[in-house]
């Protein structure tokens, strides 16, 4: 049995814009955060998988033969099983996790954990697997082991994003480019105080509604549809609204990318605000407390703000002038005592 230990790290991510379109043919714009996690992986000769984490007192002891059980160690177990199936490790593993990413916050703690474990296993084998391939395998862990029908955005972002920049990602082709963030404005991430899990079924329900719309329009790519055609169709609700969100969100992402490239913060903010309205009204993935947080973020001086991530809780992201950031944040957190500052990119 090897007692060599292999380490890897992955950041949390925030999505600037492009929500729930990474499985509907769209472009998305995530950025890596400075919070993240590090893992140590020590391969084992038997089929046991142990997981220790700074967020939990207990050490989880699982085996390679178990299925997901809703336990906090599920993502780690799924990643070790995948690493084993890929031949990167020959048995189980001891995994130690040190994370500063709050769970249930929509900042991709689970994608970061799975990607980091797969990267450590890649080092253990000395295998020539690209970071994109790692992201694809990590998504398969979420889809097949965890039962979360997520897209590819989070895994690509945490596997490949360059800190301090945004990643314009084409989720159909996985081609991506770096987009610089504004110099005089901060991208601020604030936790609403409401947590949620992608495994709670609501994410899957939205995905299922998009699938119904895809079947109606005979396409895999809701983002390529003309919003006017969707609005004029006789597709039932809520499927029509879900499709409308996708077909309008994709051009908003393109607008946001152009706005960042040309330094047009007002246009970036407008795209973010419109994105939030679409998530609230058409995709129905927000909550009243989050709508209030977003609205106050803008009233108090942000150029734009929106819910970020899978929805029904988690974080908002706002763009705000750096010289106003402190006063703005104080005023916002004063109005929303359950909210808390996570970080700024």
Identify which range of 15-23, 43-51, 175-183, 333-341 contacts ligand GLA by CB under 6 A.
15-23
Which token pair is 207? 């995905």
Q: Closest approach of Cβ 183 to ligand GLA, in Å? A: 27
Q: Give the number of other Cβ atoms within 10 Å of residue 64's Cβ.
A: 18
Instruction: Return the residue of 113, 118, 153, 307 that touches ligand GLA, per CB under 6 A.
Output: 153
C-alpha distances (whole Å) from 147 to each of 14, 78, 190 are 22, 11, 28
DSSP strand pairing (185-191 vs 340-344)? antiparallel
If one asks whether residue 310 binds ligand GLA (CB under 6 A), the answer comes out as yes
If one asks whether residue 150 binds ligand GLA (CB under 6 A), the answer comes out as yes
Which token pair is 325? 């950031």
If one asks whether residue 22 binds ligand GLA (CB under 6 A), the answer comes out as yes
Residue with Cβ nearer ligand GLA (20 or 240): 20
If one asks whether residue 19 binds ligand GLA (CB under 6 A), the answer comes out as yes
**CA atoms of 70 and 130, how far apart (whole Å):** 30
The residue assigned the tokens 């330094």 is 263
Residue with Cβ nearer ligand GLA (50 or 110): 110
Active site residue 229: no
Q: Closest approach of Cβ 310 to ligand GLA, in Å? A: 3
Q: Closest approach of Cβ 20 to ligand GLA, in Å? A: 5
CA-CA-CA-CA torsion sign (63, 68, 72, 76): positive
Identify whether the C-beta of residue 68 lies closer than 8 Å to the C-beta of residue 147: yes
**CA atoms of 39 and 8, how far apart (whole Å):** 6
Q: Which of 22, 74, 94, 154 is catalytic?
A: 154
Three-state DSSP state, 15: strand
Q: Closest approach of Cβ 148 to ligand GLA, in Å? A: 7
Identify which range of 148-156, 158-166, 270-278, 318-326 contacts ligand GLA by CB under 6 A.
148-156
Please give the residues from 112 up to 141 whose contact with ligand GLA meets the rule CB under 6 A: none
- The interface mask with ligand GLA, positions 53-92, x = CB under 6 A, is ----------------------------------------
Q: Closest approach of Cβ 267 to ligand GLA, in Å? A: 21
If one asks whether residue 196 binds ligand GLA (CB under 6 A), the answer comes out as no
C-alpha distances (whole Å) from 172 to each of 7, 18, 27, 178, 249 are 31, 14, 8, 17, 15
**CA atoms of 140 and 82, how far apart (whole Å):** 9
If one asks whether residue 151 binds ligand GLA (CB under 6 A), the answer comes out as yes
Contacts of 163 (CB under 8 A, 6+ apart): 11, 32, 33, 34
Residue with Cβ nearer ligand GLA (19 or 74): 19
Residue with Cβ nearer ligand GLA (20 or 84): 20
**CA atoms of 159 and 143, how far apart (whole Å):** 17
Q: Closest approach of Cβ 111 to ligand GLA, in Å? A: 7
**Which residues are part of the catalytic machinery?**
154
Residues that bind ligand GLA (CB under 6 A): 15, 19-20, 22, 150-151, 153-154, 309-310
């Amino acid at each position: 049995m090897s007692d060599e230990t292999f380490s890897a790290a992955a950041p949390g991510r925030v999505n600037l814009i492009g929500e729930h379109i990474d499985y509907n043919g769209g472009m998305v714009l995530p950025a890596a955060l400075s919070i993240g996690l590090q893992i140590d992986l020590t391969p084992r000769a038997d089929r046991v998988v142990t997981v220790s984490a700074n967020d939990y007192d207990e050490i989880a002891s699982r085996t390679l033969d178990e299925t997901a059980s809703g336990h906090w160690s599920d993502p780690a177990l799924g990643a070790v099983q995948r690493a084993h199936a890929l031949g990167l490790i020959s048995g189980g593993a001891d995994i130690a996790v040190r994370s500063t990413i709050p769970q249930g916050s929509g900042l991709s703690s689970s994608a970061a954990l799975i990607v980091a474990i797969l990267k450590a296993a890649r080092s253990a084998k000395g295998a020539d697997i690209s970071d994109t391939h790692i992201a694809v395998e990590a998504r398969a862990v979420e889809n097949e082991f965890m039962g979360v029908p997520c897209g590819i955005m989070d895994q690509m972002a945490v596997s490949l994003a360059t800190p301090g920049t945004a990643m314009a990602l084409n989720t159909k082709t996985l081609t991506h480019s770096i987009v610089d963030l504004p110099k005089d404005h901060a991208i601020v991430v604030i936790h609403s105080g409401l947590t949620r899990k992608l495994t709670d079924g609501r994410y899957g329900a939205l995905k299922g509604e998009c699938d119904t719309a895809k079947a109606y329009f005979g396409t895999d790519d809701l983002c390529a549809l003309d919003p006017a055609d969707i609005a004029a169709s006789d597709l039932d609700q809520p499927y029509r609204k879900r499709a409308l969100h996708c077909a309008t969100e994709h051009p908003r992402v393109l607008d946001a990318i152009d706005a960042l490239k040309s330094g047009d913060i007002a246009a970036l903010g407008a795209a973010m605000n419109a994105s939030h309205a679409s998530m609230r009204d058409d995709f129905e993935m927000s909550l009243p407390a989050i709508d209030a947080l977003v609205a106050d973020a803008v009233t108090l001086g942000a150029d734009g703000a929106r819910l970020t991530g899978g929805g029904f809780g988690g974080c908002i992201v706002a763009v705000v002038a750096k010289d106003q950031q402190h006063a703005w944040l104080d005023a916002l957190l004063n109005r929303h005592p359950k909210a808390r500052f996570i970080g700024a990119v």
